[in-house]
Amino acid sequence: MSNRLKFFIDGQWVDPVRPALLDVIDPSTEEAFTQIAIGSAADVDRAVAAAKAAFPAFSISSREERLALLERILAAYNERIDDIAEAASREMGAPLPFARDSQATSGSAHLETTIEALKTFAFSEKRGTTMIVREPVGVCALITPWNWPLNQIACKVAPAIAAGCTMVLKPSEIAPITGVIFAEIMEAAGTPKGVFNLVHGTGPDVGQPMASHPDVDMVSFTGSTRAGVAVAKAAADTVKRVAQELGGKSANIILPDADLEIAVSKGVAGCFGNSGQSCNAPTRMLVPAERHDEALAIAKTAAGTFVVGDPRSPDTRLGPVVSGMQFDKIQQLIEAGIREGATLVAGGPGRPENLNRGYYVRPTVFGNVTNDMTIAREEVFGPVLSILPYRDEEEAIAIANDTVYGLAAYVQSGDIGHARKVAARLRAGCVHINYPAWDPYAPFGGYKQSGNGREYGEWGLHDFLEVKAVIGYGE
C-alpha cells in the first residue's frame, strides 16, 4: 500500500517534508511486515495550516451536510471492514475473529451512534432574551493509541465532524496501518479538503508539536497517564482545551450474593480480553475473604481455557501483546507480584511453553493480593489478574476507590438494588453491573488520573463545541 509512505494533508497524499521511515512490527513474529513514513514538526505545520484554512467554511456547514458526510464515511468504512480487521491483527496481534467482531466493528458503531446523536443534537437554545449557541471549537489535534486503534479514531473523528471542526490525526506509530485505511476511507467519502488530515510519527516528534501548536484549539488524547500529562503541559502555554482518556486500574467487586462461579469466570475473561490491553479492564477482582480460595480455583480453571498463539489460528483466544517494550514491562510486573508475596495461581513469567518467539504472555492470575502491592497499584496492560480478599462491603468499596485512577469499576450481585447502591459509591466514570453488553451510547471517560471529558454518542460532541451566549438576542 503506497499510502503507508505518505501523509494525508489538504485532501491529498503527500510525501513528508524530511523523509524518514519506521518499521511496523508484527508482534506474533517480532519481525517488520511493512514500513510507514514518520513526520516532524514541519509536517504538523502543513497539516494544521490545511485544517485552519478549511475551518471557516466547514464550521458553518449545515447539520444536513455533516450528516450526509458521516453517512458516506460509514458506508466507505463498512466496505473496508475486512481490510481493517486484517490490519489490526497484523499490527497489534489481535486474533482475526476478535479483530473483525470487536476491533473493526467498534469504529462503525461510533459512526452510527454519532449520526444518531447529530440528528437531534441541540446546537442552540433560548433562555429568556439570551440565545445559547454551541459552536465548533476549531482545529483539533487527535492523538490515538495502539490498543483499540479504530475505536479511538472513530470516537474522536466522528464527533469532531459532527460538531463542524477540522482536525489533524496522529495514530499510534506502533499500530498505524488502520489509521492509513481510515484516511483512505475519509478520502473515498469525499471529505472536503483540509477537514481531515493525517500525519504519522512519534509522540515527541509529532504529538508534542500538535499539542503545543498555536493554531490548534483543542487536543483529544487517549493513552497513558504519563503521556497525557506531557500533552497537557505542552498545551498549557496556549491555554487550549485538552480532553484526555488515560489509564485505569479497575476494581471488580464480587458481592457475597453473586454467583461466584459465573462472576469469577466472566471476570477473568473481562481482564484477559484484547490480551489484557484495555484501559477499562477489570484487573483487580475483589472477593469475600471467606470464599477467596474458592475464587482462586475458579479463576485457575478459567485462565486455562485461554489458548495463546498465532492470531491467524482459529483456536487462539489470546494473541501476543503489542511490542517488546510492553512484553518486558509485563514480565517485570509479574516478577514483582511474585517477589512481593502474592500467590501465583496461573501463568507466570515467560512465554507459554509452546511458543519461542513473539510477544506472548502467559495468562496470569495472582491471589492473596493486597492493595499496596505493585500489581494492584500499577496498570499492567497485559493478561494479568489480581484477586484481593475483603472482609466486608465497606472494605471492598474502600479498596476499590483506593487508586489514583477512576476510569471504570464493576459490581457483581444477585440483587440489582444492592448492586446499584454499591455502584453509587464508586469513584469511576463508568460502572458496570453484572457484565452488561458494551453500550456505545454511554458516556466514556474517567475520574482522577484517568482523565477528563467524555466520549461516545452525544457525549462525544460536547468536547468539540464552545458555548456562546448572545445576550439581548430578543424575544
Are the beta carbons of 361 and 321 closer than 8 angstroms? yes
The residue annotated as part of the active site, out of 140, 155, 279, 430, is: 279
Q: Considering 187, 245, 455, 458, which one is annotated as catalytic?
A: 245
The dihedral of CA 185, 187, 188, 191: what is its sign? positive
CA distance 188 to 165: 19
96, three cell numbers: 482475526
Q: What is the CA radius of gyration of the chain?
A: 23
Tell me whether residue 279 is one of the annotated catalytic residues. yes
Report which of 243, 253, 231 is spatially closest to residue 387, judged by C-alpha positions: 253
The rounded distance, in Å, linking the Cα atoms of 148 and 441 is 17
Chain-centre distance for alpha carbon 281: 11
Does 140 qualify as catalytic in the annotation?
no
**The C-alpha cell that represents 1 in the structure block:** 500500500
Amino acid, res. 248 = G
For 269-311, the DSSP string reads: HHHHGGGG--TT---EEEEEGGGHHHHHHHHHHHHTT--B--T
Show Cβ contacts of residue 301 under 8 Å, excluding neighbours closer than 6 positions.
265
Q: What positions carry a catalytic annotation?
A: 245, 279
